[in-house]
Structure 1
């Protein structure tokens, strides 16, 4: 299976704007600009979309890990924050991702949960594609 994203852009880096879309029409012509990426203005950002993709990928990875132990999650809520900074050439770069996960998994121990969360943090397909540090906070919610 291949996934495809699209983007259009017109104008300069700081004064132009564009759209971001997915082949499946899940996201269609979402507006983005320099200001929406780096200054908190209204609009999308590629980094926000990466964060959402990573959260979804992580959730499937962690529940797969639970399943390999014969366990089933009642709930998994995950957010991923993307930290932007400057690289060694003083250009914008993703410097860190941070995963925050809370899950309710009947019958799981803290040790098993930590193992599953850390394995998902390192092994989900989005994490494997990234070269930056991926931090995490994992919380097991009691039933």
Structure 2
């Protein structure tokens, strides 16, 4: 498989605190989606970069785990993954310092030891985990 490039566009108007911006993707999933300081740091309604990274990380991890399980002959019934991305002040600016993954998995016929091996490989092997310059943790339950 050849490499894939995905794109997104951000347009910002105004100052950092008082301004606002829009995010747009070719798929139109984001189409002029607004974001601002208040949405990023004050929990105002709307999206922000860290929320989008969390969605990307949870989705990437769940897909990587599904592929890993399938490769070992297991068919997951459901993989419910969440990511909590933390941004903190660092070195005079801000940095994403961690992404905490949580998972509730329903995988018929797998034992805990085998699942632990596959889930850890998915955590470290998922492309979003690889790109994050942050601590990635994982807690999981298996039903």
Moved over 2 A (4+): none
For residues 10-53 of structure 1, what are the alpha-carbon distances to aligned partners after superposition, in whole Å with 9 as ceiling and x for unaligned?
Answer: 00001100011211111111110011001111121011001101
Residue aligning to 1:85:
88
Instruction: Classify the secondary structure of the residue corresponding to 1:43.
Output: coil
Match for 1:37 among 26, 40, 43? 40
Q: Which residue of 1 aligns with 2:60?
A: 57
TM-score by length of 1: 0.94
For 1:106, what is the secondary structure of its paired residue? coil
SS in 1 for 2:83: strand
Equivalent in the alignment of 1:72: 75
Corresponding residue for 2:100?
Answer: 98
- C-alpha distance in 1 between matches for 2:78 and 2:97: 29
CA positional deviation for 1:138: 1.0
Q: Separation in 1 of the partners of 2:60 and 2:84?
A: 14
Aligned length: 140
User: Separation in 2 of the partners of 1:77 and 1:137?
Assistant: 12
- 1:2 paired with 2:10, answer no
Task: Compute the TM-score of the two structures, normalised by the length of structure 2.
Answer: 0.94
Aligned partner of 1:128 among 119, 127, 130: 130
Alignment partners' CA distance in 2, 1:125 and 1:116: 16
